[in-house]
Amino acid sequence: MSDYPYADRFAIHRSLPEEGASRDDILSMLDTMSHVEDAAWESGQCSGTMYCGDHDHYDFLNEAFSKFSYVNSLQRDLCPSSTKFEAEIIAMTLDLLGASNLRDTTPVGLVTSGGSGSIAHAMLAYRESKNSAVQRPNVIKPETAHPAFAKACHLFGIELHVAPIDPVSTQVDVGWVEEHIDENTIAIIGSACNYGYGTVDPIEELGRIALRRGVGLHVDGCLGGFILPFGRELGYDIEAFDFSVPGVTSISADTHKYGYALKGTSVLCFADKGLRNSQYFYQPDWSGGKYCSPGMDGSRSAGLLAATWAAMVQLGRSGYRRYAEQIFATSRKMQDAVHTHASLRILGSPSFLFSFTSDDFDVYHVNDFLRTKGWRLNGQQYPNALHMAVTRPQTQLGTVEKWRVDLSDAVDYALAHRDEAPKSGAIYGGVAGGPNDEADAFIKMFMAMMMDQQSSIPA
């Protein structure tokens, strides 16, 4: 049987059907597929990705989205509401991220299509606002900072310098960062928190370095931007990472992660308007009319702005705080379960997201077993580790207990199989001796599986 998705159930389309199908039939197919797929995370065993996991909330967002889904937010004369939604999304995010501390600059923002979009626009802004003496601009990112920085550098012709991290704290080596700033450095980067380990880089120290050396400091709060401020309010030990820290010039925060909005939005905050405006695009002389756009996208759905705004206004600070409280508490309990196993070791001092490895066996054995119990953790490499980004689905009753039991059994399994090669390690784990051609070929095959299925559609 073909592994083409749903080949056994639904008609396959290789060309537009001459006569369209009925709306009812189509909606029923979509319903089937979404129910099958939702079941994979609804039990609370899937790391990250479903941040709210609450169908009532999603229904509410979908209703908000539906009222403007077909509107192009670029045509503001037709949708002044988009100006309101966007302005308020940005203002609320700036306020959450401490922009009231900025006295000498004009804090502003940009709503983008996601974390990668926010990071790309930030890197573009640093490049466009650079001193004209800078010939070959570079930025310095911690090894743990998201690949979106490497992608942005690749797209915009910026050199990327990768700073090592401390293997115990998993925080960036700030001494290395300072030593490697040169006359072409346009910005340095810190994460709050990083995707791999859930740890926060020493942003205050990076801020001091940025000010001393006259470079920008981008804080990647894509993951943490909408939850860490509430973790701090709740008394968790999280270092300041926002605009209250002198030297921070931009922060990315994803509304489509812990902002609990629909997929497709993120906010990029700038300490100063000049930096943001440097990357605006204008073409006043085109025969098709005068053109300008605030970022890389052209047409954008006003529905996403409406839904993001709706999520923020509906939840309010108390809603975000309540969810953060549940998530942090659940993460603590799940981490405590990891701590009970002498053979497992949590990396650094994480927050709501934690990552663990083992010095006694390949931790992918633990993953092999957990997969059979329905868990979906994220695999890491160098060193092999597994991470769990705790989201709202894990806060439901029974999930922590299931984690305790399954993790214990998984450790027993790992100890019993330590001399074999773990199954999932070959896919997600690091290759002994460092990256090689095989890992390269693997990742290309993975992309082809995702993108080129039309050539394998069963006849």
Ligand X SMILES: *Cc1c(COP(=O)(O)O)cnc(C)c1O
Footprint of ligand X (CB under 6 A): 114-116, 146, 148, 191, 194-195, 220, 222-223, 254, 266
Min dist. Cβ of residue 145 to ligand X (A): 7
Min dist. Cβ of residue 353 to ligand X (A): 9
For the chain, what is the largest distance between any 2 Cα atoms, rounded to a whole number of angstroms? 71
Q: Which is nearer to ligand X, 252 or 424 (CB)?
A: 252
Tokens of 109: 């923002």
Q: Which is nearer to ligand X, 13 or 263 (CB)?
A: 263
Min dist. Cβ of residue 214 to ligand X (A): 25
Dist. CA 459–CA 444, nearest whole Å: 25
Q: Which is nearer to ligand X, 114 or 425 (CB)?
A: 114
Q: Which is nearer to ligand X, 191 or 358 (CB)?
A: 191
Burial 68-98 (b: 16+ CB within 10 A, else e): beebebbeeeebebbeebbeebbebbbebbb
* Residue 216: partners with Cβ closer than 8 Å, 6 or more residues away: 126, 186, 187, 188, 210, 249, 250, 275
Q: Which is nearer to ligand X, 94 or 192 (CB)?
A: 192
Which residues sit opposite 437 in a β-bridge?
A: none
Dist. CA 229–CA 227, nearest whole Å: 6
Min dist. Cβ of residue 324 to ligand X (A): 16
Q: Which helix (H) or strand (E) holds 188?
A: strand 185-191
Min dist. Cβ of residue 364 to ligand X (A): 22
Q: Which is nearer to ligand X, 141 or 276 (CB)?
A: 141
Q: Checking DSSP bridges between strand 250-253 and strand 216-221, what pairing results, if any?
A: parallel
* Residue 118: partners with Cβ closer than 8 Å, 6 or more residues away: 110, 112, 222, 252, 253, 254, 266, 267, 268
